[in-house]
Amino acid sequence: MILTVTLNPAYDMTYRVENFERGRAQRVRSVDQRLGGRGINVTRVLNQLGKYARATGFADHSFAAAAELEMPVDFVHALPWVRRTVVISESDDGTATALWEPGPRVTEPHAVDQLRVRVGGLLSDVSGLVIAGSLPGGVSQALPAELARTAIAAGVPTICDFDGQALELAARVPGVVLTPNTDELERLTGRPAGTIPEILAAVEPLLADGLGAVVVTRGGAGMVAVTPTRAWTAALPKPLAGNPTGAGDAAVAALIAGFATERTPDWPTLLADAVATSAAAVVIPVAGEIDRVLRDRLLPTVRVTELESVAARP
């Protein structure tokens, strides 16, 4: 089983319009609403990949009940309500504009302790853990790192996918894998990450502190994966247009599926799968879904190149 932790879930709303124009009333062609949050999206993609995944974290009763109809869940009922995220998807050119509501404040005094117990009790049956997304109010930014440290100590491969102070604290957990995009990496390290050499230079101190790996997502330019001794870049020959909202979640799903299967992963194969799975999410207008036929077609076209050894750089 692969376990995902979503501390600040959301109802994902997707509005499809021909061409979004600010300051004007416009007709919406169609509307989709589904359960979301990064960990929820990862769980959904994992299930599409044929992997058994369970979602936990915080929710209210309504969200948890709705999620239970779609996937295996085990939420702590700690939120007074669940936020919404809105994506305005333009059919003209595939541009997507996202609006993120802030999350509510956790009011249940024992919620964090309940989640610690819940995650800890499942670790003996877990082959991979993903902690992803933002935090609601009233929850310490240290909680994701604490959960990750517990999982690593239990021998469970763990991916952390979030931003800000929570990411800074998770970066101090030896053995964990981080999956930031370039903006998140720049905020984490205070260094530029616009080019591959800049990415390698930015992640080197993180790996020196004991991280298992850093996989940097670069949108249509693919990914850069850096371990303590080796590094690779992976990309499609040509990027696909569409809605990038769930692409990172799809990549994380592919990565944790690989870690859960092979404790010593074949990184080139794993990265090719992550890039193809991510691209297969871009063509779907809602997050948390992939085009599996397209994924299989793209997989052999992904170009994976090993970079200069991290250990060999001065």
| Three-state DSSP class for residue 291 | coil
Token pair of 244 as six digits: 């990038």
Q: In what order do the strands lie in the sheet with 53-59?
A: 73-77, 53-59, 2-6, 128-132, 158-161, 177-178, 213-217, 223-226, 231-235, 303-306
Q: Name which of 154, 22, 174 is nearest 99 in CA terms.
A: 22
Total-model pTM: 0.91
Per residue in 261-278, pLDDT (tens digit) is: 987 889 999 999 999 999
Do 78 and 9 contact (CB within 8 A), yes or no?
no
Residue 310: predicted pLDDT = 56
* Model pLDDT, residue 308: 77
Phi, psi of 166 (to 5 degrees): -60, -40
For the chain, the residue count is 314
Q: Which residues of the chain have pLDDT under 70?
A: 309-314
Q: Where do we find the tokens 């499942």?
A: 122
User: Which residues make beta-bridge pairs with 5?
Assistant: 56, 131
Give the model confidence (pLDDT) of 72-94 as tens digits.
999 999 999 999 988 888 877 77
Predicted pLDDT of residue 311: 46
Strand runs labelled E in the chain: 2-6, 10-17, 30-36, 53-59, 73-77, 83-90, 96-100, 128-132, 158-161, 177-178, 213-217, 223-226, 231-235, 303-306
